[in-house]
Structure 1
Amino acid sequence: MTLEHRIADVEERLKRACERSGRTRDDMNIIAVTKYVSVASTMDVIRAGLVHVGENRWQNAQEKWHAARDLAENEGLGAAHQAIWHFIGSLQTNKVKEVVGRFSYIHSLDRVSLAAAIDKKAADLGIIVPCFLQVNVSGEDSKQGLAPEELTAFVKELSRFAHIKIEGLMTMAPYELEPEQTRPVFRGLRQLRDELNQQSATNEPVTGLSMGMSNDFEVAVEEGATWLRLGTILVGKEEE
């Protein structure tokens, strides 16, 4: 299946999920997760209009990041068609200097030490970094993130970091052969976001929900996802 066919297939499935849940396509954004494809394939993704690009390690993203800048310059891509990078992996504090300033969004903020490192680097650069707070809704030992009951206190801690903007919440559901079984995880994240807003825990309402991947994105849409992280189903996977 070609990239164009995969995009069309995803869009059709999104359309049907929106119809089932009373949402519109404009309610959500797609992050094309390119960690399993080459630099050339990543450039094809950007040319196709999938400008939100997700990677989980700078060492793997570096060549693609530079190639995307060259692409924008050499092909005269307008601002609306230039790559916007999302860091979607677990982030170590000693790697923050590689990520902040290159990735527009971080989807894995889950501890105060990491927030402090992000804030310091962002202050040095004179920028504000939109971050998603990663919550381990499923409670799996293999998953990173805050426990749900830690979220409110963590949000209060973040109020002292002037260069971090809480963009939303993020979670990863367990891989299930039957995607419907992931629904409680996605619903749980939405409920946590709504509770934060009811408590007025932040200066501005929290709107973003980064949830849903290739296997379960339709269920995530039905439960309120605003950012979908789609890899294999959208951009494919290349064997090394």
Structure 2
Amino acid sequence: MSEDMTIEARLQQVYHTIAAARARRTHVPKEAPVELIAVTKNHSVEEMQTAIDKGVMNIGENRVQEALEKAETLEREVKWHLIGHLQTNKVKHAVRQFDLIHSVDSIRLAEEIDKAAAKFGKVQNILVQINLAREASKSGIDYTELDDLLAAIDGLRSVRLQGFMCMAPNYDDVEECRPLFRTMYEIFQQVKAAEPRTADIRYLSMGMTHDYEIAVEEGANLVRVGTAIFGARQYALGV
């Protein structure tokens, strides 16, 4: 994808890719919708405004503080997604800012979110992040711990489980992501079928710029795309 392309042109290409991937689905309903989350880490408020003005409704940020700073001057109504690891000391600020937290990966974190949401008089929507590939460098619970975490969340009053998130390894051959995404879809369907009492299972968040096409084919309905929309991130000197 050319760096000379505009944000609008890149967005159109991403939407086209998503639509084509949906049409190729085999074990997932082709008509099942897919929502695009524009990942704006290290991108400017002006770039965000351009994307939103061209139809983006979901903004994904990795860091709580960056989202808080951008929200002060964004001047746009969007749905905010926290897609990065959440430290317990940032929970209060995350609950205040984000509509959906994708990265819940422990009972302790779920309980801290529940406490903060209760203080705000809010029911916080969350996703559980599963580290299916068991990569030490990535957050997320091991699948063997999922039942315990789901049971704990079901006992909380100010959080609402809405599904799952995963990240695939950055394989040289992107096709190697497919079995992992298919397994995640099976987990999503199983939990949805036996939906916990306090849950509203609707989202499967998987796929980023390098692998979102396969993720959509395998059942993702939230994809987290940054570089394919905004181009390469611009990092400040000394950071």
Same fold (TM over 0.5): yes
What is the Cα-based RMSD across aligned positions, in Å? 1.6
- TM-aligned CA distance change 1:26 to 1:63, over 3 Å: farther
Q: Is 1:191 aligned to 2:186, yes or no?
A: yes
Could you tell me how far apart the structure 2 residues matched to 1:38 and 1:161 are? 37
Q: What is the Cα deviation at residue 43 of structure 1?
A: 1.5
Residue 223 (structure 2) aligned to one of 222, 228, 240: 228
- TM-aligned CA distance change 1:118 to 1:204, over 3 Å: closer
Residue 24 (structure 2) aligned to one of 20, 25, 36: 20
Letter in 1 for 2:23: E
Q: Is 1:87 aligned to 2:87, yes or no?
A: no
TM-score by length of 2: 0.90
Residue 63 (structure 1) aligned to one of 65, 69, 76: 69
Letter in 2 for 1:124: K
Residue 163 (structure 1) aligned to one of 151, 158, 162: 158
- TM-aligned CA distance change 1:238 to 1:155, over 3 Å: closer
TM-score by length of 1: 0.90
Q: Deviations over 1:111-141 (max 9, x none)?
A: 1111111111110111111100000011111
Q: Where does residue 125 of structure 1 map in the other structure?
A: 120
Q: What is the Cα deviation at residue 109 of structure 1?
A: 0.5
Could you tell me how far apart the structure 2 residues matched to 1:44 and 1:26 are? 27
Residue pairs, 1:1-240, within 5 angstroms: 1-21=5-25, 23-24=29-30, 27-68=33-74, 71-72=75-76, 82-204=77-199, 206-240=201-235
> Any idea what SS the aligned residue of 2:204 has?
strand
- TM-aligned CA distance change 1:171 to 1:238, over 3 Å: closer
- TM-aligned CA distance change 1:236 to 1:226, over 3 Å: same
Assess if the C-alpha contact under 8 Å between 2:154 and 2:199 holds in 1: no
Q: Runs in 1 of length 4+ with deviation above 6 angstroms?
A: none
> Any idea what SS the aligned residue of 1:11 has?
helix
Letter in 2 for 1:54: G
Could you tell me how far apart the structure 2 residues matched to 1:159 and 1:238 are? 38
Could you tell me how far apart the structure 2 residues matched to 1:32 and 1:218 are? 15
Could you tell me how far apart the structure 1 residues matched to 2:14 and 2:122 are? 34
Q: Deviations over 1:7-46 (max 9, x none)?
A: 1111111121111116456611010000031121112122
Letter in 1 for 2:46: A
Letter in 1 for 2:108: S
Q: What is the Cα deviation at residue 198 of structure 1?
A: 4.1
**What are structure 2's unaligned runs of at least 5 residues?**
none
Could you tell me how far apart the structure 1 residues matched to 2:85 and 2:194 are? 28
Could you tell me how far apart the structure 2 residues matched to 1:159 and 1:173 are? 27
> Any idea what SS the aligned residue of 2:210 has?
coil
